Amino acid sequence: MKRIGIIAASLAVLMAASCSNGESVSPEAKALAPSKAQIDSVSYLVGVNFGTFIKGYNLGDLNMSEIQAGIKDLVSSTGNPRDPEFFDQFKISPELMQQLLNNYIEQRSKYVAAVNLDKEKDFFSKIASQPNVQKTESGLYYIINNPGAETKIAVDDDLYVHYKGTLPDGTEFDSTSEDGPSANFSLKGVIEGWKEGLQLIGDGGSIKLYIPSALGYGEYGQPNAGIEPNTPLIFDIQVDSLHKAAPATENK
């Protein structure tokens, strides 16, 4: 797993720090010891590394006392970690570590997905009651701020847009710069909510989309963008310009 290296590095620091615990050292050696400020900084860094692991895998609220117990057991351990009997000093064998972690991540993912489904229902019940909100048969909610040109956008058209994407709590996860260039793409390569919503307006139009997770990133979410499973998305989109696709020609 990609972040195991972070934990291994943190544990290496802890083990190295433990080597001098309780040992008698000469004044000359003691003078070379890291300062308290250095120890505090590295201690904080180790905590950040562990936090990166916890947050990266979305492990949720863990038992901090058990985390501390595991750290203490590691720091006070003796012997060579390469020896099989080294791990007899811990409550969990190395054979079970990966299995336990994988099982926990899978179970928590199911839990988060179920909780988010409940939140999504509550979210759209509130959206549905807002003025000017319309809904398609697929469950997409939208507000057309400006319909734009009479000819509607088609899937094959080449679009140039400015947009902002937010989560229900207001967190922005993606956007174009207000003063920067437009984003260019075809509707063929976007999520279903965009594909359906943008075909409701024409060139120069603007629309607000409330996209159900089923028309977004679904039960898997988009972890790299901070989007959890079953999370609805909100987009404000301004179509700056478009190039209509050339009409298909029949082969003679």
Q: Cα torsion for 107, 110, 115, 120, to the nearest 10°?
A: 160
Per annotation, catalytic residue among 163, 207, 210, 227: 163
50 is catalytic: no
Per annotation, catalytic residue among 7, 71, 174, 236: 174
Per annotation, catalytic residue among 124, 142, 153, 191: 191
**Region of 8 on the Ramachandran plot (φ > 0 left; ψ -120 to 50 alpha; else beta):** alpha
Can you tell me the distance from the alpha carbon of 165 to that of 234, in angstroms, rounded to the nearest whole number? Answer: 6
DSSP letters spanning 187-249: GGGS-HHHHHHHTTSBTT-EEEEEE-GGGTTTTT-BGGGTB-TT--EEEEEEEEEEEPPPPP-
Per annotation, catalytic residue among 210, 211, 235, 237: 235
Per annotation, catalytic residue among 201, 210, 217, 237: 217
7 is catalytic: no
191 is catalytic: yes
173 is catalytic: yes
Written as six digits, the tokens of 130 are 């807002």
Instruction: Just list the catalytic residues.
Output: 163, 173-174, 191, 217, 235
